[in-house]
Structure 1
Amino acid sequence: MEAIKGFHAAIPDLKSEIRDMVGEGDRLVLRFNFTGTHQGEFLGFPSSGAKLHFEGMIMRRFEGEKVAEDWDYFDFPTVVSQIQDSLNTIKS
């Protein structure tokens, strides 16, 4: 939960768009596009003002109406690249 709070603190204008949703049996998979502005410390990088665009995916397994397991993937290499590009531009 703390990681999610830090994520939203660093990118307060974060928006997500569901691109795909697939459910089968007790599993649900969602693929997202995310956009937002890097405005706070994140992954060790100071605020850069970078406009971020990246993808993510979650898969959840349910037992009844409760989430029993949760797997999350976010394309952090793309996020890091976008932040580094912005910081390098600021230094120039």
Structure 2
Amino acid sequence: MREDYIQHNPLVGQGLTGFKHFFADWFIAVPDWNYTLTKIVAEGDTVWAYGTYSGTQKGDWLGIPATNKSYSITAVDIFRIQDGKLAEHWDVIDVYGLFKQLGVIQ
């Protein structure tokens, strides 16, 4: 991953440091964190990954107090590769499904 990694998800900080902080917080809040890759496609300098994120929220995460509820959501992560390293990221995530499963919304 490039040090100047560009992140297009507003919840994740920029650069390698932002990426590391976001995932460290997620792993702490969801100790049984899991990702299952369903499909990956590469074309030119772009890689698309489709998969499922799941786990049980045991700690505060994304401003949501611990719920002790499990979730399973699908996402598409899109990466641009530069010089053999991750350079940029976009995602499409089922945030509605996440919040519903965690009980944040009805």
TM-score under structure 1 normalisation? Answer: 0.81
Runs of 4+ in 1 over 3 A off after TM superposition: none
Q: Which residue is 1:38 aligned to? A: 57
Other-structure match for 1:74? 93
Percent identity over the alignment is 24
SS at match of 1:17: strand
Higher strand fraction (1 or 2): 1
- RMSD across aligned positions (CA): 1.8
| AA in 2 matched with 1:42 | W
- Larger of the two Rg values belongs to structure: 1
Residue 43 of structure 1 deviates from its aligned partner by 2.3
- The amino acid of 2:56's aligned partner reads T
Q: Which runs of 5+ in 2 are unaligned?
A: 1-18
Match of 1:60 in 2: 79
Give a deviation string over 1:1-50, Cα, whole Å, max 9, x none.
22222111111101111111111111110011122111011122211111
Q: Which runs of 5+ in 1 are unaligned?
A: none
Q: CA deviation at 1:73?
A: 3.2
TM-score w.r.t. the length of structure 2 is 0.71
Paired with 1:44 and 1:21, the residues of 2 have a C-alpha distance of 31
Q: Secondary structure at the match of 1:39?
A: coil
- Residue identity in the other structure for 2:94: D
**In the comparison of the two structures, how many residue pairs are matched?**
86
Identify, as 1 or 2, the structure richer in helix. Answer: 1
**1:20 maps onto 2:43 in alignment:** no
- Are 1:3 and 2:22 matched, yes or no? yes
